[in-house]
Amino acid sequence: MSFFLRDESSARLRAFGDTRFRALTVAAVCCYVLMLAMQLYTLLTFRGEPISDAARYVGTAMRCLREGHFYPVAADFIGKGTAGTGYVNLLILLFRVTGSVRSAYVLNVFFVQILLAAVLWLAYRATGSSEVCACTAVFFCLSAPYWSEICIARTELCFTALSFAALAMLFGKRGGLPFLAGLLLAYANWVRPLGTAFFVSALWILLYRRVKWHGYARLLAGAAVMVAAICLFTYHSSGRFVYQPTIGSGNLLIGANADADGSYSDVVFSEGKAGYIPPARKKTMAYTEINAFYSAAAKKWIRENPGRYIALMPKKLFYMYATDTYAGEVYFDNLKTTSGKEYVQEIAGMLRGRGRAWTFGDAVICCGQAFYMLTFALFLWGVIRSMRRGYWRSLSFLYGIFLIGTAAVVLTVGSGRYHFSYLPVLQITAASAVQSALHTKKGTTSCGRSENSA
C-alpha cells in the first residue's frame, strides 16, 4: 500500500486487469525502444559544437584539464562566479579518462536511464500501482527532451537524475539509504543550485512515512558530510572554504529591471543599464561583490516598482511552461536556436506555407511540443482530480517540488529550460489521473480501493 494513504479510505490505485496491463506494458516497452532509438540517432548524427551554458561548462572543464587542476581555483572567483561546479568537475574526470567531449553525451544517456528508473520507482511507491508505473513510462519515454538533451552538456539532466534518485532511495528499507540520499541531494545542489525543493520533498517523504528521528538524522548527516567535503575540496583548490560560489543574483536582476519582460534576456547587463559593470572594474571584483551589486540593483527596482514586478510574474510563468523546444538545437547541429519565440514564429509561418522547407528536426520538435502540451494539460487536470478524489497526499511530495521550483522562477526570471527538472512531476501526475479516470468503479474511489474495505 502507498504509505502516504494509510489513513485515507481512498487508499490505493486499482489494477487494470491482466489483459489491459499486458497491453500497457507492451506500449511502455515500445515507447522505451523508441526513446533509445532517438537517443542513438542524435548521438550518431549530431556534429555541432557546444553553445551557451554548455560551451562554458565544457570550455571550463577543458581549461582545467589542460592546466592540471580541478574547478574552481582562486582566479575563478575574480571577475565572475562559478557555474555548474559539480558538473564541471565531473566533466574534468570524464575528459581525463576519455579525452572526448562526446563522452559527456554518452554519460547523459546513462543519466536518462537513472532518471527513468527513479521516476518509475517513485510512481509505484507513491501510488502502489504497477499500472500507474507503466503509464508513467509511456509519458516519460515520449517526452522529446530526453531524446536530444543528451547531446547538450548542461547541468539540468545530471541535476534531475541525481535529485530524483535521492528521493527514490528514501522509499527503500535499508537504514543507510537516507544517508546516501543526503549525499546525492547535496551533490546535486552543487551541480545546479536548485536543490531546496527536492530537500524539502525529502523531508516531507520521511514525515509521511513516519520515519523515526534517526531517519532525519541520517539524511541531514549525509547532506552535511557532502557539503563539508565540497567546502574542503574548494578550499584545497582555491583557498576559499565555500560550497556554492555562484552569482545567483544575476537572475534576480534579469527579472527585475526596467527592460524586463519575464523572459531570460541579458540586456540589463549592457552599457547604460542597471546591471552594467565596466569590464575593467569587473575584472577586479570578487564574485561576492558582483553578487551584492546585482542584488542591490534588483532590490532597488523592486522597491520602486512593486506593481510592475508583480505584473511580470504571470509572464515568467508563461515563459517557463509554454514551450518545450529548448533541446531542439541538437537537430540543427546547434546552428539554429529553438528555445526562443523567434523559432515559434518561424514554425507558425511554415505551417501557413511560408518560409523555409520542413526538416526532420522541425517535425520532432513540433510533435514533442504537442505531446508536452497534452502532458501539461493532463497534469493540471490530475492535480484537480487528486484533490476531488482524495488521493492528493500520495502525490504531495511531487506537488511540493513543482510549487517551490515554480515560485523560484516567478521571483527571478522565466525560461523554458527551467521546467526540465519538473517534467517527472507532470508525468507521474498525468499517469495517475489517466489510470484513475479510466478505471473508476462503483463503490471504489477513482484512485483507491473500495470505500468499505479495511
Q: 279-335: per-residue pLDDT in tens?
A: 989 888 988 899 899 999 999 999 999 999 999 999 999 999 999 999 999 999 999
- Give the contacts of 428 (CB within 8 A, at least 6 positions apart): 119, 122, 123, 126, 132, 136, 395, 398
Q: What is the mean pLDDT of residues 7-32?
A: 68
* Percentage above 70 pLDDT, the chain: 92
Cβ contact 62:75 at 8 Å: no
Model pLDDT, residue 440: 66
What pLDDT sits at residue 13? 47
Please name every residue paired with 450 in a beta bridge, in sequence order, or none if there are none: 444
Confidence of residue 370 (pLDDT cuts 50, 70, 90): very high
Cell match 515568467: residue? 316
**Please, are residues 80 and 366 in contact by the beta-carbon 8 Å criterion?**
no
User: Using 50, 70 and 90 to split pLDDT, how confident is the model at 39?
Assistant: very high
To 5 degrees, how large is the angle CA 181–CA 193–CA 383? Answer: 70
- Give the per-residue pLDDT at 210: 86
* 427-440: b (≥16 Cβ within 10 Å) or e: bbbbbbbbbbeebe
Average pLDDT, the chain: 89
> What pLDDT is attached to residue 443?
43
Q: What's the CA gap between 12 and 282, in Å, rounded?
A: 58
pLDDT at 277 over 60: yes
Q: What is the DSSP string of 297-364?
A: HHHHHHHH-HHHHHHHHHHHHHHHHS---TTGGGGGTTSS--SSHHHHHHHHHHHTT-SSPP-HHHHH
What's the rounded mean pLDDT across residues 157-169?
Answer: 97
Q: Which of 363, 417, 328, 325 is nearest to 42 (CA)?
A: 328
Q: Give the cell for residue 359.
A: 526538416
Q: What is the CA radius of gyration of the chain?
A: 23
Q: Tens of pLDDT along 110-120?
A: 999 999 999 99
* Residue 318, C-beta contacts closer than 8 angstroms, at least 6 positions apart: 262, 414
Q: Residue 376 carries which side chain, given as an amino acid letter?
A: F
What is residue 254's predicted lDDT score, i.e. its pLDDT? 92
Give dist(CA 106, CA 124) in Å, integer: 28
Structural contact between residues 193 and 244, judged by C-beta atoms closer than 8 angstroms: yes
pTM above 0.85, yes or no: yes
Q: What is the pLDDT of residue 87?
A: 96
pLDDT digits (tens, 9 = 90+) for 328-356: 999 999 999 998 788 888 998 998 888 88
